[in-house]
A and B are shown apart, each in its own frame.
Chain A
Amino acid sequence: MYAFSAMLVSSRLGLALALAPGPVGVPGETRRDPFRQLEETWPTPTSTRTASGAPGHAYWQQKADYDIEVELDDVKQRLRGRETIDYTNRSPDELRYLWLQLDANIFAPNSDAALTAPAPDFERVSYRRLGAVLARARFDGGVNITAVTTKRGRSKLKYTIVKTMMRIDLPKPLRSGKSIKFSIEWDYAINDARKIRGRTGYEYFEKDENHIYEMAQWFPRMVAYTDVNGWQHKQFLGSGEFTLELGDYEVRITVPSDHIVAATGTLRNPRNVLTKPQRDRLSRARKAGKPLFIVTPEEALKNESSRSKGTKTWIFGAKNVRDFAWASSRKFIWDAQGHHVGGAQVLAMSFYPKEGQPLWHRYSTRAIIHTLNVYSRYTFEYPYPVAISVNGPIGGMEYPMICFNGPRPEEDGTYSKRTKYGLISVIIHEVGHNYFPMIVNSDERQWTWMDEGLNTFLQYLSEAEWERDYPSRRGEPRAITGYMSSERQVPIMTNSESLLQFGNNAYAKPATALNVLRETVLGRRLFDYAFKEYARRWKFRRPMPSDFFRTMEDASGVDLDWFWRGWFYTTDHTDLAIDGLRLYTIDDQDPDHENAILKAERDEEPQSRARKNNRDLPRWVEQHEGLKDFYNDYDSLDVTVKDRKRYQKMLGELDADEKKLLAQKHNFYVVDIQNVGGLVMPVILAIKYTDGSREEIRIPAEIWRRDSRHVSKLILTDKTIDTLVLDPHLETADTDLGNNFYPPRPSESRFKLFKRGGHPNPMQDANKAKEKVGSTGGTGEKKQGGRAAKQEGAKAAAVPAGASRVKAKVKAKGSI
């Protein structure tokens, strides 16, 4: 490796290094500034929300307490309820009317969700899909509001239903600091969740003619009234979940007396609904080292064939929750284990039918405990007395203290690896939602990422702590590159209903962004401190996106506006490319030294074929005397006395420091990096030198602050660079690794790697063999990206021909 030559010019005025070529940036170019501050986009800080991202001194939120009686009709699959809401106006405003959510109206035939749903693909439709389409068209699950009155039916209140919302006009304005109690009665038909998908509904088991009910969004709930939006007026269209007020609940649930009920909160009347042995088991489970059965599989089986005519009322109480959900069935097996999270005791419990066995008893309750341990470490101690996971028709949905999770084994009790990890992942995810958004009460109907993104990030951390090489789906930067490089996207900061690819946009991308922030931009120490501070500040409060962004900056002490702008406000992607590498060495101006180099360079220049063949031709001037003169022996690179004198004179004019500099033997490498994808990211360069040694340079993203498209970076070394690799640990979600190498390497597509490698690959074989022993079935080649990256690095392409001996300042400019 060689090249050259930067002139080191000395003068009395000082040293000038003629190294950096060209101006930085293009003059007159209008360009986006990725570092432009976001304060002009974010809301102006107020007394309720400070510029540091914390709740302000005048922060307020409403309180809604509920007293509910509900009865489940297990014959007709209907629900009838009556509630009294105690609503406290803590806002500084006077309220003349109240808004409630009637989420069950999403199941009305003419709901906005039904009307705006696109047509199915009728070119090819399955029986089941057609069945679902017809079932949905015929089903009316809308709410009948049968009474809206002042407390306990004393007098009627005027109300107006607006699709999934209801306005109640107050007889007199509700002044700041005052409360009002009012009652509502309602009933509705419960949806068959297998046909009419939602977050609630029942599942029917043909074989034993039983149902599992998972009841959610089942009562009229107060719409959030906030300092940011006033009443949250977004209709329930299905994607944006909810925005709710925190409050206390007392709920009486009447079900057939052979049902087992799981619900948000603490069971107030175990003596009335549980047998003595069940109550004893429950108190033993509190101190048990593993999950104990409260209702055993044998008891559940017996319950399945029972058809009780009588009813029982289960009473639950819950403090400081934003919602209340429950589940009921004859089929439930119930296990529980007590666990200490910090200072508080929590009872982790699972409810599942025999169809969930043996998977559920093995993993559900333990996965709950694991989730509480990890999440509490990154946020705050779990503040509730119970944490429950229920198996039923809902694939995965979260409510305070309780969540619904779908995966089940095969009928013969075996299960694939995918089902196993699917179950553990979904339980971690849904239990994890207790932290975001149940306790850190973000606005789900507006910003899905604030709960799904943050929760998926913590899910990834929890999965990493469950077992080594856990097959996490989301979180690793390399897993998001396909989506990031695609064109049809919207930014993360898009309303829930307008997201184009929910999973990638609201789950995977923000989770990956937070991972990148933690591992690559801030480091774990700064990130974890700031993230925990965000959770602490907004525990049982209602944060907005800017509160998160501002807190992360305020507590980490790092300006991250560029990061939020790029990852959350744009659809740019990471694609950094090595555009070239130039080597400069110091010209010491010693003619003996310098001319020798130039001569050597000249000698190495390629000769034409004709010149080569002409080499031994007899020459006229050799054969005849008197034809040669001075110029026949003159070589412009010969060193003359005059040259040496000039050099000595130059040396004489230098002071001692300047002489030292001139004697430096450093190599000045300039690596040119292009930002193809638009997203500014840290530049991570792995350098391998020809002597075999290695070095890694980590440059913050601020390197892009003056020119976000091209930068040049100096690498000062005594060694010779052999290879350069950008993003060597695949930590920036770089979407095209093909341009990350010097010398350039051809990039191979996933297709070509697979085809070349043959199939099935050895890892799959090994996994299969292993799994046969475990007799659980399933395969799993875990590290596709790792394998691909290895092979990408395995073969280097030839350096483009003709780039080596051109006498130019640029030695080898890799055309990538």
Chain B
Amino acid sequence: MKHCTRRRRFLRLTGGGTAMTVGMAVWPALAHPFHVTFTEMEHNIARSTLEAAIRVAPGDLEEALGRRVGRRVNLDRDTGADTFVRDYLRQVFLIKTRSGAPVPAIWIGKQVVSHQIAWLYVEFPLPAKAREVWVRNHAFFAIASRQVNTIVFKQGVRKKTLTFSPGVDQDGKWLQITPPKTGGVGSQRQQLAT
């Protein structure tokens, strides 16, 4: 048991006022509303950054942003949407170093591919020689109780999958980001790719 405390914890409510109605514009998809994100992540050793491409449902993102900023957000039309997304990701997609210091996400950009798919691109600058990071992706936890966020970390042939889901699997996880010493092939490919 992690927390054996009777201390009261406070709920932090987000998005009041007008934001209360924002969610009305979002529709569950088909008969089984399912909410997933999928992240492709790689370690760029040469630049010492973690590079992440995050696939999200545009509707989920607009709903989450709407609640944060207190008005309806349209990814396609709002000129400030990128800033909202960046700030939202900094809140829900956390990377920390071994010392516990959070690594702020640097916003690279987004692509709205279709009515169901948008890609968000961010990178995390790491201290040189970082060997592992703490990762937690709570995107859309506040709006979907069965949210599943998957991160596939690829380093050469090595692959590691992390998943986060509210109530079931929500703790942050340590991720080894330098290849094991035996992974010569991996490091060779990594260099090719950088």
A395–B117 CB distance below 8 A? no
A622 is an interface residue with CB less than 8 A from chain B? no
Number of contact residues on B: which range applies?
A: 35 or more
Contact for B38 among A119, A482, A487, CB less than 8 A: A482
Interface of chain A, helix or strand or loop or mixed?
A: loop
Closest to A124 in B: B142
**A751 with B114, Cβ < 8 A, contacts A121-B166, A395-B28 known:** no
Q: Which of B9-17, B95-103, B127-135, B174-182 contacts A (4 or more CB under 8 A)?
A: B9-17
Q: Is B48 an interface residue (CB 8 A)?
A: no
A398 close to chain B: CB less than 8 A: yes
Interface residues of B (CB under 8 A from A): 9, 11-16, 19-20, 23-25, 27-34, 36, 38, 40, 42, 51-53, 55, 58-59, 67, 74, 76-77, 91-92, 108-117, 119, 121, 123, 138, 141-143, 145, 148, 150, 152, 154, 157, 159-161, 163, 165-168, 170, 188-189, 192-193
Q: Which of B16, B31, B42 contacts A396 (CB 8 A)?
A: B31
On A, residues with C-beta under 8 Å from B are 117-130, 194, 197, 199, 239, 241, 395-398, 406-408, 410, 416-422, 425-426, 429-430, 433, 448, 452, 471-473, 482-483, 485-488, 500-504, 506-507, 676, 738, 746-752, 754-755, 759-761, 764, 768, 777-782, 784, 797, 815
> In the complex, A482 Cα to B55 Cα: how many Å?
10
Chain B residue nearest to A396 (CB atoms) is B30
With both chains docked as a complex, state the minimum distance between the C-beta of B146 and any C-beta of chain A, in angstroms: 8
Which residues of chain B are near A397, meaning CB under 8 Å?
30-31
In the complex, the answer to whether B152 meets A485 with C-beta atoms within 8 Å is: yes
Report yes or no: B142 in contact with A197, Cβ–Cβ below 8 A.
no
Q: Is the CB of A421 within 8 A of B115?
A: yes
| B38:A483 contact, CB within 8 angstroms | yes
Contact A416 B74 (CB under 8 A): yes
Q: Give CA–CA (A126, B11) in the complex, Å.
A: 10
Minimum CB distance partner of B144 in chain A:
A129
Could you tell me the distance between the alpha carbons of A80 and B19 in the complex, rounded to whole angstroms? 36
**Which residue in chain B gives the minimum CB-CB distance to A764?**
B111
Q: A125-B14, A503-B29 are in contact. Are A473 and B121 (CB under 8 A)?
A: no
B40 near A507: Cβ-Cβ < 8 Å: no
State the Cβ distance, B149 to closest chain A Cβ, in Å: 11
Given the interface contacts A121-B167, A123-B12, A128-B67, does A749 sit within 8 Å of B51 by beta carbon?
Answer: yes
Partner of B28, one of A396, A486, A501, A738: A396
Q: B42 contacts which chain A residues (CB < 8 A)? A: 749, 751
Known: A125-B142, A126-B19, A778-B76. 12 other contacts (CB 8 A): A121-B141, A197-B33, A199-B31, A396-B27, A396-B29, A406-B27, A421-B114, A430-B31, A473-B115, A482-B40, A751-B121, A760-B109
Which residue in A117, A127, A472, A755 is a CB contact (below 8 Å) of B19?
Answer: A127
Name the B residues within 8 Å of A119 (CB-CB). 166-167
Expressed in whole angstroms, the Cα–Cα distance for A750 and B38 within the complex equals 12
Residue of A with least CB distance to B16: A127
Determine the chain B residues whose CB is within 8 A of the CB of A749 once the complex forms. Answer: 40, 42, 51, 53, 154, 193
Q: In the complex, what's the smallest C-beta–C-beta distance from B136 to chain A, in angstroms?
A: 10
Say whether A750 contacts B29, CB under 8 Å. Answer: no
Please judge, given known A-B contacts A483-B38, A749-B51, whether A406 and B193 are in contact too, CB under 8 Å: no
List the A residue with the shortest CB-CB distance to B33: A395
Contacts A395-B28, A784-B113 given: A501-B40 contact, CB under 8 Å? no
A754 contacts B31, C-beta separation under 8 Å: no
Q: Can you report 6 A-B residue pairs in the complex whose CB atoms are below 8 A from each other? A: A241-B31, A397-B30, A473-B115, A482-B55, A676-B157, A797-B192
Q: Which residues of A contact B145 (CB under 8 A)?
A: 117-118, 120, 129
A507 contacts which chain B residues (CB < 8 A)?
30
CB distance from B40 to the nearest CB of A (A): 6
**A410 contacts which chain B residues (CB < 8 A)?**
25
Cβ 8 A contact of A488, one of B16, B163, B189: B163
Instruction: Point out the residues of chain B lying under 8 angstroms from A502, CB to CB.
Output: 32, 34
CA distance A748 to B38 in the complex (A): 18
